[in-house]
């Protein structure tokens, strides 16, 4: 299997950025260093025209380490090329740079990941819960959050 052109270009700019790649089920995937996600996305957007962030989400692989995996799906609307980029995060350092400066839609997608997984996004200007309410305790899509857990009833403060 030969490397994707995106892979070669990213390696040229940041030799340590790409950790692994595969093309299983026909989905081209790069696994990159989480700390260098901003440089990787800059290359993808400027040199390869990935102008749409189709999806941004997270997967919790408890008890595996590293525990979390950020998953980005990019699309070049002109050439219809798709690329998936993944970055693994340790539970003790569950934070990654925000992509708001590249894609405005990252604002809401990242708020959702913060809300449901508790991943912090550095550089996000408005990181607050989006699906749940502010007083909600915990992050429900984490694997150690039981489905049947009850939340304290919220009412007016006074």
Partner 1 sequence: MPELETLPEVKAALPPDEPEFQQKEMLLNIGPAHPAMHGIIRIQTKLEGELVVESDVEIGYLHRAFEKSCEESTWNQAIIYTDRLNYVSAPINNIGYCLAVEKLLGIELPPRGQYIRTLLCEIARISDHLTCVGASAMELGGFTVFLYMIKGREYLWELIEEYCGARVTTMTSRVGGMPYDLPEGWLDKCTWVVKEIREILNECDILLTNNRIFVERMENIGVMSAERAIAWGWTGPCLRGSGVAYDVRKDFPYLVYDQLDWEVPIGRRGDNLDRYLVRMEEMEQSCRIIEQCVAKIPGGPVNCDNKKVVLPDKKDTYGNIEGLMNHFKLIMYGHGIRVPEGEVYFPVEGGNGELGYYIVSHPDEHSKDGCNDRAWRVRCRPPCLPMVAGLHEMINNYMIADIVPTFGSVNMIGGELDR
C-alpha 158/C-alpha 41 separation (Å) is 47
E strand or H helix that includes residue 81: strand 81-89
CB of 61 to partner 1, least distance (A): 7
CB of 125 to partner 1, least distance (A): 13
Q: Closest by alpha carbon to 48, among 16, 3, 79, 91?
A: 79
Least distance to partner 1, CB of residue 54, Å: 6
Q: Based on CB atoms, which residue is closest to partner 1, 47 or 54?
A: 54
- In the complex with partner 1, the residue whose CB is nearer, 12 or 23, is 23
| Positions that interact with partner 1 (CB under 8 A) | 24-25, 27, 51-55, 57, 59-61, 71, 73, 77, 80, 82, 84, 103-105, 107-108, 116, 129-133, 140-141, 147
Structure tokens, 35 = 């700390």
- Rounded CA-CA distance 36/99 in Å is 12
Rounded to a whole number of angstroms, the minimum distance from the CB of residue 77 to partner 1 is 5
Give me the sign of the Cα torsion angle 20, 95, 10, 109.
positive
């Amino acid at each position: 299997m030969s490397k994707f052109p995106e892979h070669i270009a990213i390696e040229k700019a940041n030799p340590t950025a790409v950790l692994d790649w595969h093309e299983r089920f026909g989905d081209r995937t790069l696994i990159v260093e989480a700390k260098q996600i901003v440089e990787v996305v800059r290359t993808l957007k400027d040199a390869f025209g990935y102008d749409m962030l189709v999806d941004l989400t997270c997967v919790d692989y408890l008890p595996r380490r590293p525990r979390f995996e950020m998953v980005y799906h990019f699309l070049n609307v002109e050439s219809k090329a798709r690329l998936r980029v993944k970055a693994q995060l340790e539970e003790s350092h569950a934070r990654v740079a925000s992509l708001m400066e590249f894609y405005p839609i990252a604002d809401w997608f990242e708020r959702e990941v913060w809300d449901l997984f508790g991943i912090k996004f550095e550089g996000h200007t408005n990181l607050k819960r989006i699906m749940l309410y502010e007083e909600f305790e915990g992050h429900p899509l984490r694997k150690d959050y039981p489905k049947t857990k009850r939340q304290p009833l919220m009412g007016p403060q006074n």
